[in-house]
Structure formats: structure tokens, C-alpha cells
Amino acid sequence: MQMSFRWYGTSDPVSLDYIRQIPNMKGIVSAIYDIPVGEVWPLEKIQELKQQVEDKGLELSVIESVPVHEDIKLGKPSRDKYIENYKQTLRNLGEAGIPVVCYNFMPVFDWTRSDLNYELEDGSHALIFDEEEVNKMDPRTLSLPGWDESYTAEEMNQLMDEYKEVDTEKLWENLEYFIKAIMPTAEEADVKMAIHPDDPPYSIFGLPRVITNKEALNRFINLYDSKYNGVTACVGSYASDPKNDAVAMLKDMLEKDRVNFVHARNVKLTGEGKSFEESAHLSKMGSIDMYEVVKALSDHGFEGSIRPDHGRMIWGETGKPGYGLYDRALGATYLNGLYEAVQKAGK
């Protein structure tokens, strides 16, 4: 497996100069952030990003994410135009030699938490999801970091209304339409697609969600039978539903050769409904056995990229919630240690 790290581009306070000092760091996970959702990513911009990364001796190994326009998720007539643009972006990424693209199919909101700066017992700060708090939130009036800030209140209201017509089955249909349309291009361009699970993996705010559990992952990979139609195994997201066995889901996808990217982080289910805290990576800090995660990757000879997902804010660091340097670097180091031990024990 190739250790990698998310980088938000030149404005990220966690610079490539810092990232390359993390032991065994090879890959960079990034994106182009200044192109409106739905438009084509120009080849020159992709090449420029790749060059910045390679100048520091690193490799641009995954694009996370190429966002999917809401019209595609809603199944509106305009989706065909946006799908054509998506295909062109994939061709450009392929031409630049980018091997993997991560994306998601969550309506309106990407990942959702109730508090992005919750103080844990040890004084560190973490992202948490308190079910009761989230149930009280009104997405039409509230804005949280991590959400698309580009909607006005009016647009948000309209979007939420449009989704009233889209239930889970309709969203599956729209996903199927999208997948069948883009996959031949992804294959031709030699870009492996890796769908990120819904985070958390169940419906919130009455919006439908599809990439939620083991059954859903299997339904998804069967939409188009190709290694290029794969998943981002985000064990932290999988495990946020107490009903899910994240390790079993990872193993299932590894057995079927559909894991194209891995996100590793731990969550601690607090025992109250679906509430959880994002914990340090170490197995005993949370609800996921990270040894089993790394062992499964090693047993299957996983050669793709893995990145430490969110980290806590520690040692006084401030910045983008979940994306500081220190705790994610500790996560990478822990994963490296597990991997070395698993590999040596297997010899």
C-alpha cells in the first residue's frame, strides 16, 4: 500500500514541505478547488498541480474529489451536459496520468457533524456527531463548515424542495445512470473511480443516501462490473453506523477487488443512538480494530493509496477541522507501524 496525505493546495497551512517530512509519505491526495462544480477541469491546471507535487518529490496519486453536480443526483434533463463535462475531466486526468478519482453521491451535503471543535478528555479537539443535536438542526437556515457554502438561502430552499421528489430508489436510479455513462470513459482513460461512502452512512435531514452498508456496496459494484467501478473504503464512515462491521465491509470489497482507495480513521461510538466522536487512530481509542484493517490490506496485497483520514486538533494547532498536520501524521506513523509488524509476522 502507498501512504498518502490530503493536501488542499498552496493555501493549505499544512505545506508539501511539511508533508514530505512524515516518514514513508509518498502520495498526495488533492484537487482543483477553484473550478465551479460541473465544469471541465482543464488539462493545464491538472498538470500544474501535478508538477507542484512532483517538485517536492511526491506523487499526485488520488484526486479527491471531482464533485458530482446536483442535477446529476437529481436526475434533471441538464444532467447529460454535466456528465459530458465529467467525462472530459476524466479524460484530462487520465492524460495527466492520475490513476484514481474519489467522489461521492451525497445529496446537497458532504460529511456532516454537529460540532467541529469538541473538547475531548485529554484536551484535544475533535469532530463529533451528536444525533440529538443533528435532529434539531435545520439545514435550510444553518451553515456548517464542510457544507457547500456557495448556495444562497433561497437556492438551498429550492434544492431541498427538489429532493422531495427523489427517494432512495430514485437516487439509486440516478447513480446507475451516471455510472453507466462515465465508466467506459474511466476505463479508456485508465482512471479508477472510488466512491466515498455517505458520511454518516444513513439519511439525514430527510435526504436520501445510498452508499451506506455492505449490501449497498454490493449493489453499487454490480451497477457496472469493472475494477474501475470501485470504492473508497472509508472505515471511519462505515463504522459510524453501529449496525455496520467496517472491517467486514472492507474485506468484502478487497475480496471482490473493488477497493481503489482507503481512508483510515477511528470513531468512537458513544453508545447513545448513532452518536459518535472522531478519536485518535489507535484501535483502543475507538470502535474500529485498526490492526484488522491493516492486516486485511496486507493479506490482500493491496497496492493502492491509503490516507489517514481526519485527525484531532492537538498541540495547540488550529486550522481546518479534521485536517491539521500533527494528528494525521501520528495516524500515518501508526498505520506504517502496523503494516511493518503485519508484514514481518506474515513471513
Q: Which is nearer to Mn ion, 90 or 234 (CB)?
A: 234
Q: Is residue 274 at the binding interface for Mn ion, with CB under 5 A as the rule?
A: no
Closest residue by Cα to residue 194 from 335, 82, 25, 29: 29
Query: Which entry of ligand DNO, Mn ion, none binds 322, CB below 5 to 8 A by partner kind?
Result: ligand DNO
Which residue among 5, 7, 86, 103 contacts ligand DNO (CB under 6 A)? 103
E strand segments, 69-189: 100-103, 115-119, 125-129
Cβ neighbors of 176 (< 8 A, separation 6 or more) are: 223
263 belongs to the catalytic site: yes
Catalytic residue among 323, 327, 334, 339: 323
Which residue among 69, 87, 196, 307 contacts ligand DNO (CB under 6 A)? 196
Helices (H) and strands (E) in the chain, counts: 12, 12
Helix H or strand E segment including 250 = helix 246-255
Query: Which entry of ligand DNO, Mn ion, none binds 148, CB below 5 to 8 A by partner kind?
Result: none
Which residue among 3, 96, 102, 171 contacts ligand DNO (CB under 6 A)? 102
Cβ neighbors of 271 (< 8 A, separation 6 or more) are: none
Stretch 224-263 residues interacting with Mn ion (CB under 5 A): 234, 263
125 belongs to the catalytic site: no
| Contacts by residues 299-303 (CB-CB < 8 Å, ≥ 24 positions apart) | 299/254, 299/346, 300/251, 300/254, 300/255, 300/259, 302/1, 302/254, 302/259, 302/262, 303/1, 303/2
User: Could you report how far apart the first and last alpha carbons of the chain are, in Å?
Assistant: 17
Q: Is residue 148 at the binding interface for ligand DNO, with CB under 6 A as the rule?
A: no
Cα 226 to Cα 214: distance, rounded to the nearest angstrom: 18
E strand segments, 93-134: 100-103, 115-119, 125-129
Query: Which entry of ligand DNO, Mn ion, none binds 103, CB below 5 to 8 A by partner kind?
Result: ligand DNO
Beta carbon of residue 146, minimum distance to ligand DNO (angstroms, whole number): 7
Query: Which entry of ligand DNO, Mn ion, none binds 129, CB below 5 to 8 A by partner kind?
Result: none
Q: Which is nearer to ligand DNO, 16 or 127 (CB)?
A: 127
Instruction: Considering only the stretches 14-22, 101-109, 207-215, 295-303, report the one whose residues sit in contact with ligand DNO under the rule CB under 6 A.
Output: 101-109
Cβ neighbors of 243 (< 8 A, separation 6 or more) are: 213
Instruction: Considering only the stretches 37-45, 86-94, 104-112, 283-291, report the one whose residues sit in contact with ligand DNO under the rule CB under 6 A.
Output: 104-112
- Classify residue 204 by its DSSP letter: B
Q: Which is nearer to ligand DNO, 107 or 322 (CB)?
A: 322
316 sits in the region (left: phi over 0; alpha: psi -120 to 50; else beta) called left
Catalytic residue among 196, 199, 252, 339: 196
Which residue among 110, 176, 245, 317 contacts ligand DNO (CB under 6 A)? 110
Q: Which is nearer to ligand DNO, 195 or 269 (CB)?
A: 195
Q: Do the Cβ atoms of 45 and 66 come closer than 8 Å?
A: no
| Active-site residue set | 196, 234, 263, 309-310, 323
Which residues of this chain interact with Mn ion, rule CB under 5 A? 234, 263, 309
